[in-house]
Amino acid sequence: MSAHTELPQAETAGSTGSCCSPSGSCHSDGAAEAPQGAVTTVYEVTGMTCGHCEGAVSSEISEIEGVSSVKAVASTGLVTVVSEAPLDEAAVRAAVDEAGYELTGVGKA
């Protein structure tokens, strides 16, 4: 007799590799709408090359008072920030510097 174990069908059928959603992702794609009255600003940041970089920048900017969401994309160098009110550029620049990167541009989304 050989030892052979099969996973129950419910665990394998239709599996996408994620436990979170049928789309296979537990994170939004950044397309969620900002709360009413919120300000969305896109910053250009140089030096980001990977997910770790994205996380470092996002983490530092998230600590600024009034920030409700941050999405950094290393491949484009763009960081989209949703906040309750316009942010002080110096505060954002300091947060990006603290993460080890450089803020090189600012524009409204």
> Of 62, 98, 108, 37, nearest to 71 (Cα)?
62
82 is written with which tokens?
């949703």
- Cα separation, 62 vs 4, whole angstroms: 49
| Digit-coded pLDDT (tens) for 8-32 | 444 334 433 333 333 333 334 444 4
Q: pTM of the full predicted structure?
A: 0.67
The pLDDT score that the predictor gives to residue 42 is 97
CATH T-level topology, domain 36-108? Alpha-Beta Plaits (3.30.70)
Q: What is the largest CA-CA distance in the chain?
A: 71
Kindly give, in sequence order, each residue whose CB lies less than 8 Å from that of residue 81, ignoring residues fewer than 6 positions away.
40, 41, 42, 43, 61, 67, 69, 70, 87, 92
The pLDDT score that the predictor gives to residue 79 is 98
E strand segments, 1-108: 39-46, 67-73, 78-83, 102-108
Q: Hey, where are the domains in the chain?
A: 36-108
The pLDDT score that the predictor gives to residue 16 is 37
| Digit-coded pLDDT (tens) for 35-87 | 678 999 999 999 999 999 999 999 999 999 999 999 999 999 999 999 999 99
